[in-house]
Amino acid sequence: MTENRFLNRRDFLIASSAGLCATGLQSVLPLPAWSMAAGGDASKMATRKQYDLALEYTPILVDGREGVFTAINGTVPGPLIHLREGDEVQLNVTNNLHDTDHASIHWHGLLVPFAMDGVPGINFSGIKPGDTYEYRFRVKQSGTYWYHSHSRFQEQTGAYGPLIIDPKDDEPFSYDRDYPVVLSDWSFEDPETIFRHINIAGHYYNYQQRTFGEFLEDVERRGFKATLGERMAWGRMRMSPVDLADVTGATYTFLMNGHSPDMNWTGLFNPGETIRLRFINASATTNYDVRIPGLDMEVVMADGKPVRPVSIHEFRIGVAETYDVLVRPRQDKAFTLFAESLDRSGYTRGTLAPEPGMESEIPPLRPRLARRLDDIGMGMMDDSMFGGMDHGSMDNGSMDHGSMGNSAKQHGSTGHSDMGKAKKMMEHDPRIPGPNGPAPFRPEGNRSNVAMVVMNPRYRLDEPGLGLGDDGWRVLTYEDLVSDAPQPYAETVDREMTINITANMERYMFSFDGRKFTEHPGPYLFRHNERLRLFLVNHTMMDHPIHLHGMWMQLENGAEKLPFKHTILSKPGEVLSALITPIEKGDWAFHCHLLYHMEAGMFQVVRVA
């Protein structure tokens, strides 16, 4: 979206402002019927085989402020698409955004022919202004999914919606009501402006930086030497332990089913009923921590696939993930659905209630979080680990990779290689599969893309995530997920490969294997129908939701039946592995689903041949 396009969007708002006044401000809120309490029960909505969708600008009000959404059929979120497994469906998408290069819709998590996946430049050319693209495919799965634009920042400005697929056979669980709960983030700033700000300063929207008072508190608690050493380590890496999100509540209004917290989306129930809540994180950049004070949740699906039920009080949902939970309110009272941003800069909320207009107490935001060095895989860091750095290069946001990344080659078996130690640690952790674990990462080429290499990445699927698990609540971890679906793929692994998640956050460069998308020599090659073990190693200090199009990733979490995932939230300093069987030939997108990270370079093509 160029500055001229932003002006066109602004001109659209000005031209429509008279209509806002004439029709009454509240009447133009572009909310779809499914997001309203009276009509939100998805179990009462019929499935269809054809939908006509149009992307167009729509004036909005959020908490009394005027803006313009990139809406689908005039609403944000878009219409609820309700399909049935096994049906041949037709989805016609029209681009009415006349100031764009192209528009698109990607069916997130769906197994479709590659020409139907909806990623411009990868498997089609995009939808030109005024044109309609016909998506046709047979539905091969069931569960909770979503759809969104894959064209520049249209997703951030409202082009997303829920997608539900009914199974051919009965569900493995029963319920009385069925509510999609779509979480998202909205800013009145143009996304191009946001992107420009965070490229200039990655912490531009972070107003929660550490203070001198906190330094003194840490000195009293941990001692001066330990506190100073920790501060110096972060300083040498040009990173802040409180930069947990690029875009925060400083500019975002966090939404639930298109409602701000003050608008209070409400889902109705009768005491004693079982309610299915389909949580979908359709945010551009916000990972949420979700809980319902006073109610236990039973997780029954992850990313559209059934899992063995897990009883919890809270879960973290990464951008683009989905979780289906069952709740059973017995009391004739309201309950708050509370979704708190990971960085604690804000929240969105809704209500489950027996009657419209009822509310429950809204929990206070928990204190701002700060990572420790151990949280990013640098727990054993001391000054000796900085001795090999080229401090001139560090001024430019990189390390001396001759002394850091290639140390295994230089030192061989002398025992002086930090990377060699990390490899041995991974080899001896029985939870890391494979004969040798992932190979140590040695950045090459443009070193400015990599600010740090994690020396001792570790298995972290048994951890709920930063800031969770200390409240006395049961919190979901990836290790809790046990598939309750058929396992159609071979158990024998044919091949292993490693992809490293890399970044230089000071320069706002995000990459795989040290290269931005534009710098990769070619796509990653997957073989058709092979059984591939993919290692992901996160060499950054942020959580990255990694999404693979066109095929499932089965997370190797120690379960007898591995869970299926289309998006995996990778923790800082983590090594994990997933088994993949590419079933459809073609080119597929592989990327971080934090929208601005993807646009900054953390994107690659997987070619299945």
Q: What is the pLDDT of residues 57-71, one digit of tens each?
A: 999 889 989 899 999
Flag whether pLDDT at 379 surpasses 90. no
Using DSSP's 3-state secondary structure scheme, residue 309 falls into strand
The proportion of the chain whose per-residue pLDDT surpasses 70, expressed as a percent, equals 82
pLDDT band at 437 (very low <50, low <70, confident <90, very high): confident
Report the distance separating Cα 287 and Cα 506, nearest Å.
21
Strands 65-72 and 88-95: unpaired
Write down the pLDDT at residue 227: 63
Mean pLDDT value across residues 186-203: 94
Mean pLDDT value across residues 230-250: 78
Flag whether pLDDT at 582 surpasses 90. yes
Q: Comparing 176-180, 418-422, 592-596, which segment has the lowest mean pLDDT? A: 418-422
Flag whether pLDDT at 415 surpasses 80. no
Write down the pLDDT at residue 217: 65
Write down the pLDDT at residue 212: 54
DSSP secondary structure letter of residue 395: H
Cα-only R_g, the chain = 24
Report the distance separating Cα 401 and Cα 111, nearest Å.
40
Say how far residue 118 (Cα) sits from the centre of its chain.
18
**Closest C-alpha to 259, from 149, 318, 182:** 182
Sort residue 264 into left (φ over 0), alpha (ψ -120 to 50) or beta: left
Write down the pLDDT at residue 17: 44
Write down the pLDDT at residue 1: 36
Mean pLDDT value across residues 339-350: 97
Q: Comparing 169-173, 226-230, 245-249, 359-363, which segment has the lowest mean pLDDT? A: 226-230
Flag whether pLDDT at 236 surpasses 70. no
The CATH number of domain 3-170, selected from 3.30.930.10, 3.40.630.40, 3.90.1150.10, 2.60.40.420 = 2.60.40.420
Write down the pLDDT at residue 423: 46
Flag whether pLDDT at 421 surpasses 60. no
Directed axis angle between helix 3-23 and helix 191-200, to 10°?
A: 130
Question: Which of 265-274, 398-407, 443-452, 500-509 reaches the highest mean pLDDT?
Answer: 265-274
Write down the pLDDT at residue 113: 98
The proportion of the chain whose per-residue pLDDT surpasses 90, expressed as a percent, equals 69
Flag whether pLDDT at 439 surpasses 50. yes
Neighbours of 416 (CB within 10 A): 12
pLDDT band at 376 (very low <50, low <70, confident <90, very high): confident
Higher-confidence position of 449 and 18: 449
Higher-confidence position of 110 and 238: 110
Write down the pLDDT at residue 532: 98
Neighbours of 444 (CB within 10 A): 12
Are the beta carbons of 119 and 141 closer than 8 angstroms? no
- CATH fold of 172-206+242-369 reads Immunoglobulin-like (2.60.40)
User: pLDDT for 508-566, tens place per residue?
Assistant: 999 999 999 999 999 999 999 999 999 999 999 999 999 999 999 999 999 999 999 99
Directed axis angle between helix 212-222 and helix 224-236, to 10°?
A: 130
Mean pLDDT value across residues 421-429: 51
Which tokens in the block code for residue 249?
């509540």
Using DSSP's 3-state secondary structure scheme, residue 162 falls into strand
Question: Hey, what amino acid is at 450?
Answer: V
Q: Whole-number mean pLDDT of the chain?
A: 86
H/E element holding 36?
Answer: none
pLDDT band at 464 (very low <50, low <70, confident <90, very high): very high
Are the beta carbons of 326 and 297 closer than 8 angstroms? yes
Phi, psi of 288 (to 5 degrees): -115, 150
Q: How many CA atoms lie within 13 A of 463 on its CB side?
A: 16
Write down the pLDDT at residue 192: 97
Report the distance separating Cα 463 and Cα 460, nearest Å.
5
Question: Hey, what amino acid is at 399?
Answer: M
Using DSSP's 3-state secondary structure scheme, residue 311 falls into strand
Mean pLDDT value across residues 466-479: 95
Phi, psi of 423 (to 5 degrees): -65, -40
Mean pLDDT value across residues 232-242: 68
Write down the pLDDT at residue 214: 64
pLDDT band at 607 (very low <50, low <70, confident <90, very high): very high
pLDDT band at 203 (very low <50, low <70, confident <90, very high): confident
Report the distance separating Cα 598 and Cα 604, nearest Å.
9
Write down the pLDDT at residue 444: 77
* Residue boundaries of the structural domains of the chain: 3-170, 172-206+242-369, 371-609
Q: Which residues contact 408 (CB under 8 A, 6 or more apart)?
A: 417, 419, 420, 423, 440, 442
195 forms beta bridges with none
Burial 217-246 (b: 16+ CB within 10 A, else e): ebeeeeeeeebeebeebbebbbbbbbbbbb
Higher-confidence position of 26 and 280: 280
pLDDT band at 216 (very low <50, low <70, confident <90, very high): low
H/E element holding 294?
Answer: none
The CATH number of domain 371-609, selected from 3.40.50.300, 2.60.40.420, 3.30.1300.10, 2.40.128.20 = 2.60.40.420
pLDDT band at 38 (very low <50, low <70, confident <90, very high): low
Higher-confidence position of 242 and 306: 306
Report the distance separating Cα 399 and Cα 377, nearest Å.
16
Whether 371-609 and 172-206+242-369 are alike in CATH topology: the answer is yes
Are the beta carbons of 578 and 565 closer than 8 angstroms? yes
Are the beta carbons of 548 and 603 closer than 8 angstroms? no
Mean pLDDT value across residues 86-114: 97
